[in-house]
Structure 1
C-alpha cells in the first residue's frame, strides 16, 4: 500500500536529521528513511581513533549544541553517534531505520519513493544519502594480482589489525593522513604512505572552526559577485589534528610518490624500486550515493546532479543535501548542513 506525505527524506544521518528539524519548523509532514539499522549515520562505521576537526560547540546540528566530551577537545566518533541518537529522540524525528530506498520516480505531480519496506508518494524528496556507502577505488595496474589484503577507508578500524605487517596507505587527504599516522605511531606496523602529490598540511592552528569560516566567506563572496578565493582548498588538504602532528613531527609521515603498479608481493615504481606489502589501505575518497535517483535521469558531469542551491535543476521537487559544496558550502559537515537544510525546507514549503 502506498503511503502519502509531504516530504520523504532519504538518509538518516546528520543531513537527514537537519532536514527533519527544519521541515518540522515549516509545519510539513515527512518521513525519514535511513538505511542503517541504528542511529548515527556513517559515524558509527568510522575507525576507532577518529576525532572531529572542531570542538563540540562548533560541531552541532541546528537547535541543539553538541555537549562537550569530558577530557577531549575534539569529540570522538562514539560521542558523535550518541549526540545524533539523542538529537533524533529530542526532536521526535520520524526516522525509519533499516529502510533501503531502491528508487525515486516521477508520478504525475508527485514523486514516488520505492523502498524495501514500502512505497511513499510525496510532494518533494530530499536526498541525503551522503557518500560513505560508495567508496572509490582507482584503476591501478596490478590491483588484481596483489596477494595481500586490500581495504578502503570504510573497512579500516585499528592498528592492532595489522600488527607485524607491512602496510601501504594510499591517499593524500585527511583520511589518508590520519590512517597513515594511526598506523605509523604503532611500532608493530611497518607503514608506507603514498600520495599522488606532496602532502599539503594546513597550519597547525587551523581546525574545523576556521575551515567553516573560510567556506562561509567564499559563499558570501560568490553570492556578491566577488572573485573566488578558492575556499578551503586554497589552504591545503590535510588538517593537522594532534595524531597527524605527532606522526609528522616524529618524521613518520614522509610520503612517497604514487607507485606505478601493484605486484603480487607489494608495490613498484617506474624506476624499478619496490616496497613489500601485506596490505593496502586505499584512502581514495568516495562518490555520491545517488543510485536511487537514477530513474529521474538527472546525472551531470562527474556523477553530480546539477543544482541551484540544493534544488535539482531538472526536477524542482528534488533537493540534494549534504554531499559537498555543490549542494551547499560545507554541507557535508555537522555545523555546515544546517543552513542548506533550512533553505531546502523553505523552498519545499512554497511548492504547490
Structure 2
C-alpha cells in the first residue's frame, strides 16, 4: 500500500476527471487517475461500451463558451461541434496539458471503501491501494433509466433505450416512436423523421424548443454576451416571450403548450424538431398508455402501429464503486455541498454531478479548484472549510423557481452558483481562473 497521506485517487478520465487532475497537479497534490477505457473522452467516444453518443450528436452549447480554460475550441470548428470534434478536442486538451502521463488506462476501480481514519482502500483488479481522498468523476449518462411501459411483454416490436441507438440504419423501413422530449429525444426524433417510414414523438408535458441561433447568433452568445437584434426589432424582457415569438404556437403541431418558464428546467436546444413537425415528417403524440400487440395506445385513446420504440427517458445517477449509504439521496441524486463535497465524509468528492443552463467545462474546473483548495488547506482554514461543508446552505438557485421534477433535484442557476463559488475563492485567497487564463481565452466570440 502507498502511504495514505500522500496521494488522491481520481476515478474517470472524461472532461470532469481531466480538469480535476489539472487542478490537483497545479496545487501540488499527488494523485492517481484511473480510466476503465483505453483513452480519454468518456461518453464522447462511442467505441466505449455504454456510451450514449449517436452519429448525429452535437453540442447544445456553442464552441464560444464550451471549451476548457486556456484552450478555446479551434476557430475552424462550426458553431455547434459534432461529437467527433468534441472527442478530438478533449484528447488534444489532455495532450497539451500532458495529462496522459498521469492516467492509468484500461483499469476499472472495483470498489472504494472508506476506512475508520477517513482514508480509502481502493480495489483495482484485486489489488488494494490506500489513498488519502477519493474524487469520483464517473459521468452521469452511463446508466439508462428504463421506464416500464404496460404491455411491453406482449409487444411485437422492438423497445430500446436511447443509449442503445447509434444511427438511422435502426429506423430504415420502420415506423418509429420516440418517448421523451429532452435533448437526446428530439435529436433522435429528427433522425427518425428523416429516415423512418413514419416517426412519432410522445411527450407527457409541454416543452419549449429553443433554436440554436437567435438572429443568426449562437444562442448562448446572444443571451450571455449581449447579442443585438436586427434594426427595428425589439427584444422582450422575458426570454420565454422571445423564444415563443421566434418558435410560434407549438399546439398547432399537436404538442402541449409549454408548462414552465424558459429556464425553469433544462433547456431543449433544437430547432429541427419544429421543422419536422411543420412538414409532417414527425407527428406529436401524448403519453403512452400501453403497448398492445403491434400497436402503441396513447393516453388520448389513439393508437399507431409501431415497429421500434425508443425510450429517451434519461439516466440514473450512480457511483457504483462507492457505498450508496455514504450519501444522502433525493430523487435519485446525491445531495452534496456545492454539488461536489460529501457533507459527512471529509475525504469524498464528486465532480460532474450537477446540471445548469450553461456550458460545463469551466464550471467543472472551478469545482475542481475547490477540491484542490480543500486538499491543501491546513489548520484553522481547514477546519473552517470542513465546517462549511457540513453546515453551509447557500442559495444556489437565485430567484429561479424550477419545475418540480426529479431531474431538477440538483439543478442550480449558473450565475447564483458562480457567485457562491467566487465568495469562497475570495475568502480563502484562491485565484479566479477567468483572470488566470484571460489572455488565452480573450478571442472574441463575434
Q: TM-score range by the shorter chain?
A: 0.7 to 0.9
Question: Which residue in the other structure is 1:28 paired with?
Answer: 29
TM-aligned CA deviation for residue 192 of structure 1: 0.8
Q: State the distance in 2 between where 1:189 and 1:335 align.
A: 42
Deviations 1:191-223 (A, max 9, x none): 11101112321355273456888xxxxxxxxxx
Question: Which residue in the other structure is 2:353 paired with?
Answer: 323
Task: Check whether the contact 1:40–1:81 (CA below 8 A) recurs between aligned residues.
Answer: yes
TM-aligned CA deviation for residue 3 of structure 1: 7.5
Question: Which residue in the other structure is 1:100 paired with?
Answer: 108
Q: Where do 5+ consecutive residues of structure 1 fail to align?
A: 214-229
Give the number of equivalent residue pairs: 331
1:232-311 alignment, distance < 5 Å = 233-234=263-264, 237-241=267-271, 243-294=272-323, 297-309=326-338, 310-311=340-341
Q: Per the alignment, do residues 196 and 271 of structure 1 end up closer, same or farther by CA in structure 2, a change over 3 Å counting?
A: closer
SS of match in other structure, 2:56: coil
Question: Which residue in the other structure is 1:17 paired with?
Answer: 18
Question: Which residue in the other structure is 1:75 paired with?
Answer: 81
1:45-60 alignment, distance < 5 Å = 45=46, 46-60=53-67
Higher relative contact order (CA 8 A, sep 6+): 1
Which of 67, 88, 92 does residue 86 from structure 1 map onto?
Answer: 92
TM-aligned CA deviation for residue 317 of structure 1: 0.7
Which of 375, 388, 394 does residue 348 from structure 1 map onto?
Answer: 375
Q: Per the alignment, do residues 350 and 344 of structure 1 end up closer, same or farther by CA in structure 2, a change over 3 Å counting?
A: same
Deviations 1:277-301 (A, max 9, x none): 1111111001112121216532422
Deviations 1:269-323 (A, max 9, x none): 2454221111111110011121212165324222322211111112111111111
Deviations 1:9-42 (A, max 9, x none): 1111111011111111111111111222222110
Question: Which residue in the other structure is 1:130 paired with?
Answer: 139
Question: Which residue in the other structure is 1:62 paired with?
Answer: 69
In proportion to residue count, which structure has more strand? 1
TM-score scaled to structure 2, two decimals? 0.68
* TM-align CA RMSD: 2.7
SS of match in other structure, 2:323: helix
Question: Which residue in the other structure is 2:190 paired with?
Answer: 181
Q: State the distance in 2 between where 1:235 and 1:290 align.
A: 24
TM-score scaled to structure 1, two decimals? 0.84
Q: Per the alignment, do residues 83 and 270 of structure 1 end up closer, same or farther by CA in structure 2, a change over 3 Å counting?
A: closer
Q: State the distance in 2 between where 1:302 and 1:151 align.
A: 24
